[in-house]
Structure 1
Amino acid sequence: MFRKLHSNRDPRDTLFRELKKEFSVYFGKAESGITASLRRYPKQAYGAMVVLMLVSLVLSFTIFRHREPAVSVTPAITSVQPGKPTEMLSPVSSGFGQILRTTFTLRQTLELKQQIDTLLTKRSLTAADSTRLATALDRLQHLQQSITIKP
């Protein structure tokens, strides 16, 4: 039931090697076809690249341009509190706010876990230690619920 399984596979056979072995024919044909067409029509390929860059330039300054006024991106840390919505901030600021909230929650979680670990390594707990342990576990559970509830 608990026998060790031995594999006789070659250690040089990896996923990348197998994929390369399987699809190298198709990639080789595509590479040779593209190379042949670029050698046959170099001016047209260069012209197509220049046209595509110009189209990209025009599109980036016309259609894809954001017309919203620039909003300062430096949110105050005190205004971003865990659990409070940030409707007043721009999408970038709310993203930073979410990152700050997550960092704050992670830092608190790590501190609570360290505190719990130090309390659990003690040989015997006093009444104050038991209260501190119960409070830390409750706070850790609350943080876990606040993380899992968010979409």
Structure 2
Amino acid sequence: MFRKIHSNRDPRDTLYRELKKEFSAYTDKGSRFSQVLAAKYPRFLFGLMTALLLVSAVLAIWLHPKMVPPEKTNTRPQSAVLNGGFDRILAAGAALGQTIRLRRQVDSITAKTVLNKSDSITLVRDLDSLQHIRLTLPH
């Protein structure tokens, strides 16, 4: 299980070296082509580069008009934050109480062997109420 694995790989062979060996023919052709192109048309390439820079600047300004940092947002006073927190706690407590009441009612209805029409309607309404409570409470 803990057998030492021997490798006959040359330690100088790296991923970069293997990729260079594999694709050097293509990169050399591309390098030579770009050097010939730059030597033949230097003004055209300079103009193209300048035009692309200008287009990039125009697009950056046009597509991002709100590059100015946003103003500080008005923060609520500490008492408003605390009151909001207490309100959420009270709402969660009320929802919990209603959930317990609805669950008891659902359990009592489902314990019956035969349901009449009013039991079915009450059961559907209670299950919908439970679903609504579950969706409105924050997780």
Give me the TM-score of the superposition, normalised by structure 1.
0.43
Q: Which gives a bigger RCO, structure 1 or 2 (Cα 8 Å, sep 6+)?
A: 2
Give me the TM-score of the superposition, normalised by structure 2.
0.47
Q: Which has the larger radius of gyration?
A: 2
